[in-house]
Amino acid sequence: MRFTFVASETTVAQQARRKLIDRYGDVPAMQADVVVALGGDGFMLRTLHLHRALDVPVYGMKLGRVGFLMNKHRLDELPGRIERAHTATLFPLDMRVTDGEGTEHTALAFNEVSLLRQSNQAAHLEVQLNGIVKLSNLVCDGILVSTPAGSTAYNLSAHGPILPLDANVLALTPISPFRPRRWRGAILPHRTEVVLRVLDPGKRPVSATADFHEVRDVRLVAIRQAGGQGVRLLFDPEHNLEQRILDEQFAAE
């Protein structure tokens, strides 16, 4: 089994990478059977974006502050752990943005696409689903579309629902909504196209972010699941991602 080891810039992650290379060797990513990522969830997201085109599974070890997408860090028995690992396939969201100058931008998000106000003025947004206007004027600090894997991250902090990994749905969650006062979001079929149009962008500017890729002063944002572009994450049986997402619904803290 051939590995390529990648690590965040922290000292502890870089030290762990050197020890693992001494034990198991290291090959270029194009030749690897498995990419092993050392860090936290933020570094894992960057690894998924960087190596997505290789169609190689990724196995993470937690050496950062947040490790929902990671396994425990251990030096021993890595080949055996990977052979026993469960696979979770994550499908990203495709974000297509038109900014204030008419320039189009595209990016992928494995966690969520979020729109946020850029000033002290609340955002005014039109929400369309599959070409039909559902909300003509949502007044809010922002809104996000989350994948099941990302539903326990920013989406949960915004009081959105936790989604089972195999549910084939997306979460549409407002951030501090003011009008309509009682609207708290929606659960959408995964094939839904969400189009968000910024109303009064000159007075109420809005930015759009796909994972860590940000576009400012946006006018229109179209979001849909990127079919056929899934990535495979490997998890130790005792840290199965599907079970973790289920357990989050019963977390007391």
The two tokens of residue 155 are: 């989406």
Catalytic residue among 26, 41, 94, 99: 41
Annotation marks residue 41 as catalytic: yes
Residues 221, 112: Cα–Cα separation, whole Å: 13
What order of strands is seen across the sheet that includes strand 86-90?
A: 3-7, 34-39, 58-62, 231-235, 86-90
Asked whether the beta carbons of 1 and 23 are under 8 A apart, the reply is: no
| Closest alpha carbon to 45 in 218, 221, 209 | 209
Half-sphere exposure of 186 (CA within 13 A, CB side): 11
Asked whether the beta carbons of 108 and 95 are under 8 A apart, the reply is: yes
Residues 51, 200: Cα–Cα separation, whole Å: 39
Catalytic residues: 41
